[in-house]
Amino acid sequence: MSGVLASMIDGLLVGAVYGLAAMGLSLIWGVMDVINLTHGSMIALGMFAMYLLFGAIATNAYLLLLPVIAVGLVLGIIVYWMSVHRVVGRPMLMSLLSTFAVNMMVIGIGTAIWSTSPYNVNFSLPGITLGAYTFTGNHIAAAIAAVVIALALQWFLYHTRTGKAIRAVADNREAAELMGISTTAVLTIAFGIGIALAMTSGALVSTLFPFTILSGAVYQLKSFVVTILAGLGKPFGALIAGVLLGLLEGVVTPFIAVSWIPLIEFGLFVVVLVAFPQGIFGKRATA
C-alpha cells in the first residue's frame, strides 16, 4: 500500500511539470483561439536545449532554465510571425494546419541533427529517503521549479500592464483594440510566453527521463488532456489539473503496463469533452 503512496507522490511531482507544459498550450489557445500544434515539437526542443546547454556549461541544470526561457520567447515570436499571424481569426482549420506544418519542419530538422535515438541530461540532485522509498532530488526540484514559474506567470498576468492587456485581448479582442491595446503586440508576446513555457517544461522533463526528438508528442497529448480538464484561459487551473493527471498516472502505474497509458489518457480526454461539452472550456464557445 505504501508503494502506491510513493508512486502517487512521484506522480504528483511529475504532474506539476505536465501542468507547466499545459499552461503554455492553454495560454495560446485562450488568448488567440489557436490550437498550437507546434507544442510537442517545442517541448522536444526544450529537452535538447537543456541537453546542449548542460553539455556546454556543466552547472546546476535548474539554473539553465533561465536561458531556455529566453530562447523560448525569441523562438515563439519567430514562429508567431512565420505561421500564426496570417491565420489568427481565420477558420481554426487554417491555424491547425499552419502550426502543424511548422511542427513537421522542426521534427524533420531535429531528426536530421539528432536522429531518433535517446539522449539524457546527466545531472542529479541528492534525494530524500522516507522509509523504504527514495524520492529523487530531480523530481522534487523540477516540481518546485514548475510551481515557481507558474506562480510567476500568474503574478505577471494579474499584476502587470502587459499581463492585464493579454487577459483583455483573451476576453474580447475588438474591445481591447478599441481601448488602445495593440493586439498584434499582445498576441506576439502571448505566443512567445506560450512557447517559452513549452520549452521550459521540456527542459524540466529532460532532467527526469531520457528523451528523443519525438518525445514531445507524448507530452503534447498530456497537455491537451490537462487543458481540457482545466478549462481554457485558466493557466493556474492547468497547473492543478496537471498535478491531478500526474496523481492519476501515479495511482495506475503500479497496476498496469505503461503502454496502456496513452489509451487511458485519451479515454479521459474524450470523456471530459463529451460529458462537459463546451461548459468547461471557459467563456467562449467553439467556432
Partner 1 sequence: MILRRPFFYIILIIAALFVYFPLHGNNVSLREDLILVAVAVILASNLNLMIGYTGYVNFGHIVFYGLGGYVGIYLVSVRGWNLVLAALVAGVTVSLCALLFGLVILRLRGAYFALATIGILQAVQAFVSNFGPWERSTGMYLSFDAYQPLGGAMRALWITYYLIIAVMALSMILSLAIKNSKFGLGLFAIREDEDAALVLGVNATVYKAIIYSVSAFLPAVAGALMFYKNAMIDPSIAFEFMLSLEGIVMLMLGGQGAVMGAALGGGLYERLRSYLLTSPTLSNFHLVIAGGLLLLVVLFSPGGLIGWFYRLVPGGRKVIE
# chain residues binding partner 1, by CB under 8 A: 40
Rounded to 10°, the helix 183-206/39-56 angle is 60
CA atoms within 13 A on the CB side of 83: 23
As measured in angstroms, the least distance from the Cβ of 129 to partner 1 is 35
200 interacts with partner 1 by CB under 8 A: no
Segment contacting partner 1 by CB under 8 A, of 80-88, 130-138, 191-199, 201-209? 80-88
109 interacts with partner 1 by CB under 8 A: yes
Whole-angstrom CA distances from 164 to 31, 84, 157, 181, 250 are 12, 22, 6, 10, 36
280 interacts with partner 1 by CB under 8 A: no
**Choice between 112 and 132, CB closer to partner 1:** 112
With CA atoms as reference, report the closest residue to 202 among 10, 44, 4. Answer: 44
270 interacts with partner 1 by CB under 8 A: yes
Segment contacting partner 1 by CB under 8 A, of 4-12, 69-77, 93-101, 125-133? 93-101
- Tally of helices (H runs) and strands (E runs) in the chain: 11, 2
131 Ramachandran zone, left/alpha/beta (phi>0; psi -120 to 50): left
Measured distance CA(144)–CA(250) in Å, rounded? 18
240 interacts with partner 1 by CB under 8 A: no
DSSP state of 286: P
- Of 81, 182, 262, 276, the one binding partner 1 by CB under 8 A: 262
Contact residues for partner 1 (CB under 8 A)? Answer: 35, 82-83, 86-87, 91-94, 96-98, 100-105, 107-109, 111-112, 217, 221, 224, 257, 259-260, 262-263, 266-267, 269-270, 273-274, 277, 286-287
